[in-house]
Amino acid sequence: MITFVLMVNRQGQTRLCRYYQSINMSRRTALEANIVHTCLSRSRDQCSFVEYQESKVVFRQYAALYIAVGITEDENELSIYELVQNFVEVLDKYFSRVSELDIMFNLDRVHIILDEMIQNGRIVETNKSNILAPLNALDKMADG
Amino acid sequence: MSDVVEKTLTALPSLLSFDSQPGAAKLSSTSKLASLIRGITELTSKHEEEKLIQQELVAIKDQVSSPNTSMRQMKELMVRAIYCEMLGYEASFCYIHAIKLAQQGTALDKRVGYLAVALFLHESHELLLLLVNTVLKDLQSTNLIEVCMALTIVSQLFPKDMIPAILPLVEEKLTHPKEIIRRKAVLALYKFYLIAPNQVQHIHNKFRKALCDKDPGVMTASLHIYLQMIKENPEGYKDLTGSFVTILKQVVGGKLPMDYNYHSVPSPWLQIQLLRILSLLGKDDQSSSEIMYEVLDESLRRAEMNHNITYAILYECVKCIYTIHPKDELLEKAAKCIGNFILSPKINLKYIGLKALTYVVQQDPKLALQHQMTIIECLDHPDLIIKRETLELLFRITNGKNVTVIVEKLLDFLRTSKDDYTTIDLMGKVAEVAEKYAPDNKWFIATMNTVFSLGGDLMQPDIPNNFLKLISEGFDDGEQDRMLRLFAVDSYVSLLQGEPEKLPQRFLQVISWVLGEYSHLREDLEPATVVRLLAHVLDLKQASSETKSWVLLAMTKLCEGEAAMSVLQGVSETYSSSMDTVLRQRAQELQNLHLNPELWARVLPRDAFTEPLEVDSSLSFLDGYVSEALAAGAAPYKSPHQRQEELAQAKAVSMEPYGLSLPISMSLSSLDGRQSPTLLSMSSGLSGDSTDHSHKAGTTTLKLDKVKRVWGREGYLAQRESAVVEVPSPVHSADQIEEVGISQDPTPPPVADQEKQQLASSLFVGLGSQTSSSLMGKSEPKHQRLRKKAKDPVSSSEISKQTSNSIFPPPISVDNLLCNSNMDPKKSLPSCTQMTESSQGSAAANGTCAAEGEFTEGDVQGPEPSLFRDNRLTIAGSCETEEPVGMKDLCLTSYLPADCIGANHSEFTPLCSSHGVHLSACHVHKDDTLVLLVFISNSSNSDVHQFIVQVDSGDVEVSCLSESPVEELRCHHVEVCQYSLTAKRPSVHLEVSGLVSFNMPDRTPQTTHFSYKLPLPSFIRPLELSTEEYGTMWLAFSHDTKQNLTLVADVQDSLRATLDVLERKLHLHVVAIIGMEGIVACRLLPDQPCLMHCRVHGGTLAVWLRSPVPDLPDCLLYHCQRALQEV
């Protein structure tokens, strides 16, 4: 099961975070700081999976942006690694060439996309057009 | 992998450039959100961030509550608040506005409102209730987007109690023409299933419909529910195996629409989900497994494309193949697959390969042999995570032959580990395999020394506990035990002579204990030397007071004779004035025992562990003291449980609105039941019931805190015992296995250097079994060097139990001194007084019971136990107090009516007493009725006339069974009245009240009231039904209640055990138990049925009671709860 999704930039600033287990603010800040530290200290040729306390973290780097996903022991690391790619591809499709700034200025939309893909720590949709359908409809409503 | 990254980079060049981003410019640069974002990007320090966000929060707060804020502005405010929360600053003042936005906004504004709610609130947040109406409205909206939003929020977060309010609407959406709505409805139901499985039980067949939905998205969504349900109860869904296989076949065969593909792999995450379901269904089930072989083979074949996602599928496939009933051909392919992973230069694949191998070697350790060289390379891999995973794998293949090498590798890693979690985890593993497979004593002690030194105080306390237990209990061989202890003593003496300040506290404690207990084994070692070494530990700055108390105790054991007199005196003087009471106590013990060698020898006999302990668990030696104290007017002892109930009762009296919801009447009557003196307890003498005493003992042992832990928790000890029983199963000759193991290695890599070869042969010895065909059977050779003595498991576990309960712990126990000092008659008194006083104190503190004049144990423990003593207490009407009547051992049993003798009757409860006339009652369970027997005895010396007994009740239908009412009661005579009772309406306890009137010999009329309480279960009888009848009745009944109950723990079939308890205690009838579910039926006399459905869910028992009678389910549930609490 997925426990959290985190996006941080190279400076260690959080760009997006979503938790699928309830966690208090102070533990959250500590966790994010640790994860950023761990991810930033890893090199390209090292494994994309790290251990953090009792859970595993799968992370993937896109230029200056890191996406880290916390999972439990029974989850399949590689499938999560590819899920991250799928997520980025969806963002890319929606924003047509997504950038860090797109994510910052459209935090709400990115969250809406993520909500379509992951719920309660489970992967609920991976089909790109299905994922984007509700958001596209909302945008159309706003335009029209 | 790198190719994918490259692809991504070319696809997303804009990610690289931050400033040259044209897209951002089009966003209104003047908006507040934009300036916040700009502010955030320009931050350089945490301090600046805090300043910026605090300002932002103030600004948001201002604006958010202004009435002029439009919904569009509100949306922006919410996004800003999300930012603040994301950076770790709470914006709780916004929560209510998020709900408002979800309620009043439209389109994207509304969606952002819902989003903010999902991000801000947690499952049990009180504000969530305010969302229910909005969701309800949106679910009924004609706007599909709004319906979608509502379903999305419901599947993320919804108050459990409000599910019934929206359930029908969500269910309705399952047949919606739009597939997205159907899909979201299924996901909402999945959420309901997760948080309140009972609520969606009735829609299981609709789940099946969703599984067969023509839209792949809806079908995929339903798999979440199925995975969950199959996890909980694989037996219940075997019939669906074929369907899942067909679905997987179609997916693998590319029958899904193109947009379900990911990098031209058809819906990979769906495949993974299906493979997980299949492995659950095929586990230990040959016929189900056979259905899957073909599609698994197909999956393996199709997934040969070179992409991460296909490897992810392969990994899942391999796991599935090794989980289900084995098929050689598939196993071979899977093994090859794992080989490809492990050998891959891509590090992520290597990792997943190691993970797969770790999983697989539990089934087939031989497989590790094939990859031994790779594994060894991974051991030295620069990436810690690979190393860690390899160690995990090695841990699984540890046996008696390779344990030294593997432990060395684990310890090497431990030395460099900086992460506490890893350290704790590995520590436990090393201790486990060391204990299991240690080749010799020296190695074992040395390894444990390293564990203790490295583990420091992070270590789980059960590691030292087990170690001490192992040393003290010994193994099969007496000589071996002696050697082990000697090794330990030698090694610890030299450690203390070295640099004891570097040792962690836990280790020092272990050392002190072992030296105190066993240093006498080394005859050439002067006790004085050891005492001096220990004294040095006491002087260490970092020694905690817990450690000091262990050390003092060890010294006490060593203080025989003239040894190190001056040191001991110095120590005991120093600590006699310590601020720490425990240390002071220890110092006193040391001093006194030192001066009194005779007592010392009695209190601390050597090697006493081998002798079984005799424990007087009833504490009968205190009886004299207790009766004296009672005679002197002390309040009787009450068990903690009892005190708690009284406390609850006191709460109820004080009308605290949200206190424990124990009605007064219930706790009162349960006190009645417990305390009324029964014939049985009287005959068992002063010792009273043993549970109360064990509580007493418990309180004394608790006082001694800390050090007691050596003895571990009871549960743990029991577990150890069971391990001992199954261990001695040496497989085949180990040498033979070794030969086979090495010769079976198919590809000895010629390039590997000799050193690695050597390591390999030492790591992988003992792997591989001759029974390679039975892959599923765990053929891991169990070679246990340190076998424990084959003691009678029962007796030894009993001893350990007694140890924790008794006031006489085993002589080697660290907390024995205080207790054992009780052997000294002079000393025993104060500690007893203390004990009783404390119980008196607490009894007095919540002594509502005594004040209301309930029966107390004083009756039982008084010098002349009498049934009717002090029973003035329950008399309601009489204003005068009676003299206790000295009627001796009146045995009411002999007055039981003939037809009630065989039946199950309750205890005799005194009802009232007046002028020498005493009433007591009991009830008798018969199949179709409950009989109340009222015994009237006349202990005065004169006859009583015009005797009238009336029994009446609002709750109970009473009919008199006696032919002729009693009119006269002769002196020293007993009469019995019989009444048949049936419940008019259910209640937790049913009360019968009555009135006795008679004329005294001098014609003065007397009237006395009494009451008698019956718990509901007295009126419950089993109801024999078939499952079909149960089914029809279930649907017909309207009154229901649901709750989660605790399961009977620590048994294999906890559902069965729990239902057995209920059947026994509450007279229910278990109709059937199917998998994790059970159905139970009973009736309330005369014939009102109540049905119960139980389901094991997440460690608790979810029960659902239904009945046509209002309140019956609730009342019965209360008793179920009580019955299970008492277990």
Instruction: Give pLDDT, residue B608.
Output: 54
Distances (CA, A) of B766 to B419, B734, B741: 32, 7, 6
| Single-letter amino acid code for the residue at B429 | K
Give yes or no: residues B929 and B983 share one domain.
yes
Are B364 and B274 part of one and the same domain? yes
Q: Which of B16, B88, B422 sits opposite A63 (nearest CB)?
A: B16
**Do residues B1003 and B1095 share a domain?**
no
Q: Are residues B902 and B962 in the same domain?
A: yes
Q: Please report which helix (H) or strand (E) contains residue B113, including its range.
A: helix B107-120
pLDDT confidence of residue B241 = 92
Residues 11-30 on A with a CB inside 8 Å of B are: 13-14, 16-18, 22, 25, 28-29
Q: Which of residues 327-366 of B touch A (CB under 8 A)?
A: 347-352, 355
What 3-state class would DSSP assign to B43? coil
Which of B18, B27, B191 is opposite residue A105, by nearest beta carbon? Answer: B27
Pairing of strands B917-925, B930-938: antiparallel
Asked whether residue B938 is assigned to any structural domain, the reply reads: yes
- By C-alpha distance, the chain B residue nearest A21 is B122
| Assigned domain for B185 exists | no
Residues of A within 8 A of B119 (CB-CB) are 18, 111
For residue B347, list chain A residues with Cβ-Cβ distance below 8 A: 45-48
**CATH assignment of the domain containing A119:** 3.30.450.60
Q: Tell me whether residue B266 is in a domain.
A: yes
Is the Cβ–Cβ distance between A136 and B52 less than 8 Å? no
pLDDT given at position B809 = 37
Are A51 and B388 an interchain contact pair (Cβ–Cβ within 8 Å)? yes
Query: 3-state DSSP call for residue B1040?
Result: strand
Q: Is the CB of A77 less than 8 angstroms away from the CB of B352? A: yes
Q: Could you list the residue range(s) of the whole structural domain that residue A114 is in?
A: 2-143
B17 touches chain A (CB under 8 A): yes
Report yes or no: B769 and B741 within 8 Å, Cβ to Cβ.
no
Boundary-marking domain end, from B961, B993, B1016: B1016
CATH of the domain at B980: 2.60.40.1150
Helices (H), B283-346: 286-302, 308-323, 328-343
Structure tokens at B879: 């204003």
Alpha-carbon distance of B188 to B194, in angstroms, equals 10
> pLDDT tens-digit profile of B230-283?
999 888 899 999 999 999 999 998 889 988 999 989 999 999 999 999 999 998
**What residue in A sits closest to B92 (Cα-Cα)?**
A25
* pLDDT of the residue at A84: 95
Count of domains observed in chain B: 4
Question: In chain B, which residues have pLDDT < 70?
Answer: 1-30, 475-477, 560-564, 606-615, 648-753, 766-893, 900, 902, 963-966
Q: What is the CATH number of the domain that holds B1052?
A: 3.30.310.10
Task: Check CB contact of A142 with chain B, cutoff 8 Å.
Answer: yes
Q: Are residues B990 and B1027 in the same domain?
A: no
B129 located within any domain:
no
- Tokens matching residue B1021: 């009888």
pTM greater than 0.80: no
Restricting to B residues 65-94, those with a Cβ less than 8 Å away from any Cβ of A are: 75, 78-79, 82-83, 86-88, 90
**What pLDDT sits at residue A108?**
92
As a whole number of angstroms, the distance between CA B674 and CA B688 comes to 12
Residue ranges for chain A with pLDDT beneath 70: 144
Instruction: Name the residue among B888, B874, B1117, B840 with its Cα closest to residue B1013.
Output: B874
What's the pLDDT score for residue B965?
66
Question: In Å, what is the CA distance from B748 to each residue of B399, B620, B745?
Answer: 22, 71, 6
Task: Please answer yes or no on whether B122 and A102 come within 8 Å at the CB atom.
Answer: no
pLDDT score for B1048: 79
Cα dihedral A43, A46, A52, A58, rounded to 10, equals 100
Is the CB of B118 less than 8 angstroms away from the CB of A115? yes
Which of B19, B57, B111, B259 to probe by mutation at the A interface, max A CB count within 10 Å? B111
Nearest CA in chain A to B347: A47
CB of B222 less than 8 A from some CB of A: no
Contact A111 B15 (CB under 8 A): no
Residues of A in contact with B9 (CB under 8 A): 62-63
Q: Does residue B992 fall inside a structural domain?
A: yes
- For A6, the enclosing helix (H) or strand (E) is strand A2-9
Query: Which amino acid would we find at residue A99?
Result: S
Phi then psi for B157, rounded to 5 degrees?
A: -165, 120
Q: Are A52 and A60 in contact (CB under 8 A)?
A: no
- Residue B66 pLDDT: 83
> What is the C-alpha separation between B76 and B36, in angstroms, rounded?
11
CB atoms within 10 A of CB B764: 29
In this structure, the answer to whether residues B538 and B473 fall within a common structural domain is yes
Question: Is residue B1089, in this structure, part of any structural domain at all?
Answer: yes
Same domain for B263 and B294 = yes
In this structure, are residues B931 and B979 in contact, taking their beta carbons and an 8 Å threshold? Answer: yes
List the single residue in B152, B315, B348 with the smallest CB-CB distance to A47. Answer: B348
Tally of domains in chain A: 1
Partner residue opposite B217 with nearest CB, options A83, A119, A130:
A130
Domain end point (choices B368, B397, B426): B368
Residues B567 and B599 sit within 8 Å (Cβ to Cβ): no
Contact B1078, B1055 (CB under 8 A): yes
DSSP string, B485-497: HHHHHHHHHHHHH
Q: Do B1006 and B899 share a structural domain?
A: yes
Question: Does the distance separating the beta carbons of A82 and B309 come in below 8 Å?
Answer: yes
Residue B479: give the domain boundaries: 440-559
The number of C-beta contacts closer than 8 angstroms across A and B is 203
Question: Residue B1040: inside a domain, yes or no?
Answer: yes
Q: State the Cα–Cα distance between residues B922 and B939, nearest whole angstrom.
A: 19
Question: Same domain, yes or no, for B1027 and B938?
Answer: no
Task: DSSP letter for A61, please.
Answer: E
The answer to whether residues B352 and B446 belong to one domain is no
Same domain, B1097 and B1054: yes
Q: What pLDDT does residue B563 have?
A: 61
What are the structure tokens assigned to B504, written together?
């962690």
Confirm whether B1007 is domain-assigned: yes
| pLDDT of the residue at B612 | 55
CA B1052 to chain A, closest CA, distance in angstroms equals 24
